[in-house]
Amino acid sequence: MTNISTPTGRQASIERTRRVRDGLRRRHLHEALFKGFGLAAIIAALGFVAILFTDVLIKGIPAFTQANLHLEATFDPAIIDVGPAPVRTAGQSDADFRAASLGWQRDVALLNWNKVVEASLRAAAPAGFEIDSRQILTVAETNARHVLREMFVNDPSLLGQTIKVDLLASANADNWVKGNIDRELGDAQQQLSAPARALIDIFEENGTISMGFAWSIFTNVDSRAAPASAGLAGAFMGSLFMMVIVILLAVPIGVASAIYLEEFAPKSRLTDLIEVNINNLAAVPSIVFGLLGAAVFINYFKLPLSAPLAGGLVLTLMTLPTIIIATRGALQGVSPALRQAALGMGASKTQMVFHHVLPVTFPSILTATIIGVAQALGETAPLLLIGMNAFVASIPATPLDQATALPVQIYLWQANENRNFFEARTSAAILVLLGFMILLNAIAILLRTRLERRA
């Protein structure tokens, strides 16, 4: 044993202090380095996210405004040359009336409504402005004639009247007004003819064309014939149906399996095997679930192609492992004291689980569910394999109707050949999807904090 007071002892003590100080410096350095790396990683990650978001925002925000035409349309009887709308006569059967009314609607549809559109555009153009029919029609979106026709079908008394209508300007006109196309390019490189471009400039000056909020993005379905009217309503409903199916199926099945595996199942080779497989399933690429869905739901169970029901079932399979794993984790985190206390008071195992353990885990299960659903909401690959990447121009009314989903719509729009217009629409769709995700996550956090406070 060395004595500190002896010279050798003092030397040893100095040596030890030096070693400790060196060690301390090294440890501090390591800590500083680690902190530095961590900070750099976060800054880099945030930087990339910031770049991505700025890019999407810059590209997407202009798509939320759109060029509108304010015109006066005349329902000229010379063009709209049809008989009066059938009126239901006494004693007429439902089927007969329907047939008569459909026949009349088809007659109306076969009229040349473009003439009405053209006349209203010409009425707004300065007198003597020279432009041919085909060129002037490129100013308004091609759905203008359907809009006018529907107004007439809904109210046949419009015949002969002149009313104010708001129509969408065509996608090319929108591009021109927004300056998405270089104005200096020659005629050969422009989508619109020179007179049409000049007319748009005049319209912009005299207020016939004005920019307005693009409600069509939210209220309309996808459109190729009339790009300016393309919207997300169909895709949104498709996504909504799928999410509801995922929540209704994945949550009860996932939570029940987790509870059984964690609380009731005997610990054996078999349950170990199941656990390993569930963990593996969580890591399986989503496209594999798509293949499975196509083989099982479409080919075997003959579910309709492109239906949110099939999509929802595939996404349920994909979300199940996430929910099971998270729920099991939450159950494992519950203190054994709680279980023992419950059992000690004479509760049965089921009572212990449902009355005492499960309520404590609600916040975590909820978080896991929302994360799982959000993941399912953003999933594209499996949907491509069950035909949900189709062009669907109607809003699905039930989960059995054909539909697309928001992320698939993004995929479809980015591939649209009218790139000048759809580049912005694609980014706008991304913003809508992100908004939806943020909303979901906000709900999750809100619910979790409320439940945690109560627990």
Partner 1 sequence: MKTALFASAAVIALAAFGTTAAFAQSRDTIQIAGSSTVLPFASIVAEEFGATFPEFKTPVVGSGGTGGGLKQFCSGVGESTIDIANASRAMKAGEREACVAAGVTDIREIQFGFDGIVFASAATGPDFALTPVQVFKAIAAKVPVDGELVDNPYVNWSDIDASLPAQPIQLAIPGSNHGTREVFQEKVVTAGAEEAGLPEGLSDEDKLAVETTFRQDVVVEIAGDYTETLARLTSNPNTVGVFGLSFYDQNKDTLKVATVDGVVPSLETVAAGEYPVSRPLFFYVKGQHIGTIPGLEEYVQFFLSDSISGNGGTLEAAGLIPQPSEKTAEVLAAFEAGAQ
For partner 1, the binding residues (CB under 8 A) are: 102, 105-106, 109-110, 142, 146, 149, 181-182, 185, 188-191, 223-226, 245, 248-249, 251-253, 256, 298-299, 301-307, 309, 354-355, 358-359, 387, 389-394, 399-402, 414-420
- Token readout for 43 is 């800054």
- Token readout for 220 is 């309309």
- Token readout for 17 is 């202090």
CB of 398 vs partner 1, minimal distance in Å: 9
- CA–CA gap between residue 192 and residue 178 (Å, rounded): 14
Please identify, using beta-carbon distances, which residue of 342 and 436 lies nearer to partner 1. 342
Please identify, using beta-carbon distances, which residue of 208 and 223 lies nearer to partner 1. 223
Please identify, using beta-carbon distances, which residue of 302 and 454 lies nearer to partner 1. 302
Name which of 318, 248, 287 is nearest 386 in CA terms: 287
CB of 127 vs partner 1, minimal distance in Å: 28
Please identify, using beta-carbon distances, which residue of 172 and 436 lies nearer to partner 1. 172
Residue with tokens 């399933």, as numbered in its chain: 281
Please identify, using beta-carbon distances, which residue of 348 and 394 lies nearer to partner 1. 394
Distances (CA, A) of 275 to 253, 268, 324: 15, 11, 10
CB of 81 vs partner 1, minimal distance in Å: 17
Contact 165, 73 (CB under 8 A): yes
Question: What's the number of CA atoms in the CB half-sphere (13 Å) around residue 178?
Answer: 23
Triad 5, 7, 10: Cα angle to 5° = 65
CB of 251 vs partner 1, minimal distance in Å: 8
CB of 364 vs partner 1, minimal distance in Å: 17
CB of 174 vs partner 1, minimal distance in Å: 14
Please identify, using beta-carbon distances, which residue of 287 and 437 lies nearer to partner 1. 287
Distances (CA, A) of 180 to 141, 170, 211, 416, 452: 17, 14, 15, 16, 50
DSSP letters spanning 249-303: HHHHHHHHHHHIIIIIS--SHHHHHHHHHHHHHHTS-HHHHHHHHIIIIIIIS-P
Please identify, using beta-carbon distances, which residue of 65 and 101 lies nearer to partner 1. 101
CB of 229 vs partner 1, minimal distance in Å: 10
